[in-house]
Amino acid sequence: MSDTVSAVTAPRQEIHTLRAYSVGEFNTASPITENAMDVNADRLQDDIETNAGFGAIDAEEGRGRTVLTGSEADREAREYFVTRLEDAGMEVSVDAVGNVAGRWVPSSADPDADPVAAGSHLDSVPRGGIFDGPLGAYAALEAVRVIRESDVEPTRPLVVVSWTEEEGARFDTGLLGSSVAAGHRPLDEAYALKDDDGVSLGEALREVGFRGDDDIDPSSWEAWFELHIEQGTKLESAGAPIGVVDAISGITNCRVTVTGEANHAGATPMYERRDALVAASHFVVDTERAAKEVVTTTSESAVGTVGKVAVTPNASNVVPGEVAMTMDIRDVDRDAMDAIVERARASAARLRRERPVETDFEQYRLTEPSEMADRCVDAAADAAERADFDAMRMHSAALHDTANLAGVTDTALLFAPSKDGISHNPLEWTDWEDCANATRILAGAMADIARR
């Protein structure tokens, strides 16, 4: 999951109640049986554990890795992924921004039909866990292997994808590879992004040999599925083995600067102070109050956070002269997001009127809420029912590559349980049985759509 998001503004969408389709409404072929999706749990575990060795770190507890885009660990992870795709009989493509895709055309399929795709990402945050991203990439591969080994006869090709720079940990722009593929970001703009050392994305991809020239176009896909760890505790608390996501929260970020006057902490009387930090503290409290009120009046899933604060000059004996803050606002309801933004903007304006400070407010990034496709969501729910698993309908408060793809093809996002909700941490853990069960649901859903 990425907390540093692409500057993507998709068409505004309204999140609505999902229509329930019957199992056979789209598909007149014989039903997929519960035993058809026989996941090889050992094979899946071996792939994920092998991947965990690339960029592995020493951790007192748990298992961690650091895989930044364009690093040696990234090259190793990509090359192993390509090998595993080829081992599964898939034709591999690498596009200009380094996205990797494997394509399998079953003998029963029309090679020109729009394919069904699935996957996730292989990069990580610094000192991250071993499941965030790789579970989805290798579960998609295992799903294709399972379908290939079953008696299911897809009429469409199947595609497995790993997206570049989902986390945004090196180039400060998450969901990057999928944003380029989906047409939300120009390639030259992506290439120009630089890390802290001034190395561009284009240079980094060339260095590891993954600046390709193939075309990976999600708008040509029939559907897209992504399996991810939940990174929360809802599934674990409910004892549910699988979550079926019907909407992904949008996210908007704002920069707020409060400017006062730096002065001597001892010699400046209280009544003469232009303390930027005191004013900024009021803004933080106002933002929390606004988010809580929006939760009670508009959308219970709305959240608002002032998570980054820089105080200047940040010395114990100086009245703070400037405070720069960054806000993070998320929800599946765009109106709720807008309400928190406007309340925060009003707070900044009030501080200018009531305190001896100046304020600047900028909303600089927006990714719209994303609605999943009814037929893909229902395909996942049907697959869970066939396997006798209780699937929990839920929304995702974290962004994933699926958010970029929802505007160009039909999508669904699945969650596997996360132990204690921990992620981006070596303690991140999803039981191997849960990985296999979730992969079984993914395979069933992909097979269902691939036969339509």
Element (H, E) at 345: helix 334-354
Cis amide linkage into residue 313, ω under 30° from 0: yes
pLDDT tens-place values along the chain, 452 residues long: 555 444 444 433 333 333 333 333 334 455 565 556 799 999 999 999 999 999 999 999 999 999 999 999 999 999 999 999 999 999 999 999 999 999 999 999 999 999 999 999 999 999 999 999 999 999 999 999 999 999 999 999 999 999 999 999 999 999 999 999 999 999 999 999 999 999 999 999 999 999 999 999 999 999 999 999 999 999 999 999 999 999 999 999 999 999 999 999 999 999 999 999 999 999 999 999 999 999 999 999 999 999 999 999 999 999 999 999 999 999 999 999 999 999 999 999 999 999 999 999 999 989 899 999 999 999 999 999 999 999 999 999 999 999 999 999 999 999 999 999 999 999 999 999 999 999 999 999 999 999 98
Residue 30: CB atoms within 10 A of its CB come to 10
Closest CA to 369 of 10, 44, 5: 10
Closest CA to 54 of 138, 177, 119, 145: 138
Q: From CA 247, how far away is CA 279, in angstroms rounded?
A: 36
Element (H, E) at 117: strand 116-121
CB 343 within 8 A of CB 357: no
pLDDT score of 173: 92
pLDDT score of 29: 52
What one-character DSSP code corresponds to residue 59? -
What are the chain's domains? 41-249+369-450 (3.40.630.10), 251-367 (3.30.70.360)
Both structure tokens of 80:
């192993």
Both structure tokens of 421:
């909700």
Parallel, antiparallel, or unpaired for β 91-94 and 116-121?
A: unpaired
Radius of gyration of the chain (CA): 23
pLDDT score of 22: 33
Residues in the chain: 452
Look up the pTM and report it.
0.86
Single-letter code of the amino acid located at 156:
R
Assign 424 to helix, strand or coil.
coil
Q: HEC states along 220-258? A: HCCEEEEEEECCCCHHHHHCCCEEEEEEECEEEEEEEEE
pLDDT score of 25: 38
CB 171 within 8 A of CB 125: no
CB 99 within 8 A of CB 427: no
pLDDT score of 37: 78
pLDDT score of 261: 98
Residue 413: CB atoms within 10 A of its CB come to 31
